[in-house]
Chain A
Amino acid sequence: MNTVAVVGFSSAGTSLTTSGVETLVPVITAALEDAGLGRREVDFWCSGSSDYLAGRAFSFVSAVDAIGAVPPIAESHVEMDAAWALYEAYLKILAGEAETALVYGFGKGTAGDLDRVLSLQLDPYTVAPLWPGAVGIAALQARLALDAGLFTEDDMARVVGRRAEGPYLSCPLREHDVARVADGAAAVVLAASDRARRLRERPARISGFAHRVDPQGLGERDLTTVPSAVAAARDAGLDGTVDVAALHAPFTHQELLLREVVRAGSYLPFGANAMFSAGLSRIGSAAGEVMSGRARTAVGHATSGPALQQNLVCVLEA
């Protein structure tokens, strides 16, 4: 069986247009340069984005213009964070249908009111019409975890190097507990093992990769546990402590819940919430630690849906 490795990564924290093209061109170019791979040498392209974030239908269509798809390319798209596009590309290489892949994600989170937009992910017949808001739902989860004694508000604040002070945004979440909404794009280059070793002295080999989803109903699951993250970590073969982890946690209490699942010597700080590229960017950052030699083992994690409904774990090794 093939093994697959990350051989290149690039990301950007700004975007100019909702089409993504102007944001993506330099990011894709930089990722390919990082991998030492030519654009025409990419066997399979896969992207992640969201029409709702772009405020239009078919937002990924114009992003194809960023690739230069003449002559035509083998390409696919997930309407999810691009971390899941990376999973699709990983399988394509495992299946022997491609030797190299470039995965990219993009989203302009600042174009609308993200808190309100994300309400549209909820059950449209019973929950979404109440417009509960993403921060409000996260606060519900944080409150349950605090009441269960899992951690304190000070523990939450320490995740971002702060003390628990200042007014509540949505009790018990204060401003520093909520990641800043950002625009973003990221690209990761994958290669089958032999090719990866030719491209780069120290590729970040993917030793385990899995994802799971939980039921959405907020009354149907214990919000203080993350069964889908636990199952994904188990399927990815994660046991013991890795050198470094990059967790996708838009709220400080979610970082604490996830640290119980992914144990690491250190955690790369989560800067800003760039929807639909953030998860891919976490995997790219974790891979960067391995490729640079700063870490031997690393985990990249991505989440999606309200209150950590869907989780993905990618284990990387030198």
Chain B
Amino acid sequence: MRRAAVLGTGQTEHRTRRTDVSMAGLCREAIDRALADAGTGWDQIDAVVLGKAPDLFEGVMMPELFLADAIGAAGKPLLRVHTAGSVGGATGIVATSLIRAGVHRRVLAVAFEKQSESNAMWALSIQPPFSAPITAGAGGYFAPHLRSYIRKYAAPDHIGALVAVKDRRNGALNPYAHLRQPDITLESVQRSPMLWDPIRYDETCPSSDGACALVIGDQAAAEASSRQVAWIRATAMRTEPTFYAGKDHVNPRAGALAAAALWSAAGIKQPLDEIDVAELYVPFSWFEPMWLENVGFVGQGQGWKLVESGETRIGGALPVNPSGGVLCSNPIGASGLLRFAEAAMQVMGRAGEHQVPGAATALGHAYGGGSQFFSMWVVGRQP
């Protein structure tokens, strides 16, 4: 199969409201940084892939159409991807496919969400005819699954808070992070209000305006780069229905199968030993132990033990979300691409204060819908 690599990454400062920029300006902030990081000019970009979550989040139907000029797509091919919360990851994977198919040399992947333009709660609460009501608010939807994990594996109550403390302190090392809380403590998290049992306020992601962009190139473009690139060793996407008889929300089959396919394609046999850093999609703190198990870093019921041992901190056996992750910044459509970009930054050695020393192989992970859409990639310093 043809090789592809991340040549450069860019992201915006994330905040609750970016009233200083339009949607076009927000995307350009990330794109301009990605192009500069890749040492690439507009004329070298052959195609653009744009991802974001539902159009109702901004109130614009297919915003890529009015954004075409601003994101450098005018006169070029433009694809618009939407796979719910996993869309950022899917955007990176579709852009990779454009390279691997041999039709383009350099592709720009852009993902954004400017949630302040509309009202996400309203957008997710429309009552379509002939359909069961959609549960308003992701926290209310996922809380029973987290509670189920805790009961099933007798996980101690403080595991979620441990993750929150780790990610928020990591976020303080990331200049782009929305929430930067170097002084957060286990006690302060546990004092924060309970929103949806067992999820406390400090264990939830924020709503952010933000964007992320990647330049992905073919082998020749990667070899022509004067800087370290992130070789894309494997990608995987899997989907299952929201509900079906036997659906396991604690350990979704689609996530496990995507991971198995990913490790196989990347030639990885012992993920915990061979992966140096993982950016997992953790919008609520308890998802960290669940996803550690689901992607196969540890066995069932062992995820919380890895968290409790401190091995998922920077400096541990498997640093998870050194950027601060979704718990620190959540521009939904961009969040998956941010995970993929942060994984790339780590192996490129460009993660700044939150760099994991010697990171050579990294996982980027995203999920969406009712834990049913999964997208992942493995990137490395070497192809």
Contact = CB atoms under 8 A, between A and B. Distances in A.
Contacts of B244: 70
B186 interface: no
B159 to A, nearest CB: 27
- Residue among A72, A94, A215, A227 having the largest count of chain B Cβ atoms under 10 Å: A72
B56 A51 contact: yes
Given A52-B55, A61-B84, A95-B1, A74 B61 contact: no
Contact of A65 (B61, B81, B241, B246): B241
A25 interface: no
Contacts of A120: 59-61
A75 interface: yes
Interface string B360-380: 000000000110110000000
Contacts, number: 200
Contacts of B75: 212-214, 227-228, 231
Contact of B81 (A79, A90, A305): A79
Contacts of A310: 65, 68, 78
Nearest to A91: B101
Contacts of B76: 212-213
Given A75-B237, A77-B83, A88 B97 contact: yes
A65 B56 CA distance: 22
Q: Taking each of A52, A124, A127, A217, which has the highest tally of chain B beta carbons within 10 Å of its own beta carbon?
A: A124
A69 B62 contact: no
B23 to A, nearest CB: 8
A137 interface: no
A62 interface: yes
Contact of B74 (A117, A125, A211, A215): A215
B68 A78 contact: no
Given A118-B61, A125-B22, A60 B82 contact: yes
Interface string A154-192: 000000000000000000000000000000000000000
A117 B61 contact: yes
Most chain A CB within a 10 A radius of its CB, from B65, B84, B131, B258: B65
Interface stretch (B7-15, B121-129, B274-282): B121-129
Contact of B77 (A51, A95, A127, A213): A213
A311 to B, nearest CB: 10
B207 to A, nearest CB: 15
Nearest to A213: B78
A50 B242 contact: no
B77 A70 contact: no
B239 A124 contact: no
Interface string A45-59: 100001110111110
Interface in B87-123: 90, 93-94, 97-98, 100-103, 117, 123
Given A58-B369, A71-B253, A123-B66, A91 B55 contact: no
Contact of B82 (A69, A77, A118, A231): A77
A260 B55 CA distance: 34
A146 interface: no
A56 B126 contact: yes
Interface string A206-234: 00001111111100100000011001000
Interface string B218-247: 000000000000000000111111101010
B131 A62 contact: yes
Contacts of A97: 1, 97, 100
Contact of A216 (B66, B79, B246): B66
B80 interface: yes
A87 B79 contact: yes
B84 to A, nearest CB: 6
A72 B254 contact: yes
Nearest to A209: B103
B219 to A, nearest CB: 14
B130 A121 contact: no
Contacts of B257: 71-72
A82 B66 CA distance: 20
B151 interface: no
A96 B79 CA distance: 20
A78 B77 contact: no
Contact of B66 (A78, A122, A212): A122
A121 B79 contact: no
B69 to A, nearest CB: 4
Contacts of B66: 121-124, 127, 216
B65 A95 contact: no
A100 interface: no
A291 B78 CA distance: 29
B5 to A, nearest CB: 15
A1 interface: yes
Contacts of A292: none
B90 A76 contact: yes
Given A17-B129, A91-B98, A304-B65, 14 more contacts: A18-B128, A55-B128, A57-B124, A69-B239, A73-B239, A76-B94, A78-B81, A95-B1, A95-B97, A128-B60, A212-B77, A213-B76, A216-B68, A227-B75
Interface of B: 1-2, 22-23, 54-63, 65-66, 68-69, 73-84, 90, 93-94, 97-98, 100-103, 117, 123-124, 126, 128-131, 134, 236-242, 244, 246, 253-254, 257-258, 369-370, 372-373
30 contacts: A17-B129, A19-B128, A19-B131, A50-B55, A56-B128, A61-B369, A61-B372, A62-B131, A65-B242, A73-B239, A74-B236, A76-B83, A77-B81, A80-B79, A84-B79, A84-B80, A95-B97, A95-B101, A97-B100, A118-B61, A121-B65, A124-B58, A125-B22, A212-B75, A212-B77, A214-B75, A227-B75, A228-B75, A304-B62, A305-B62
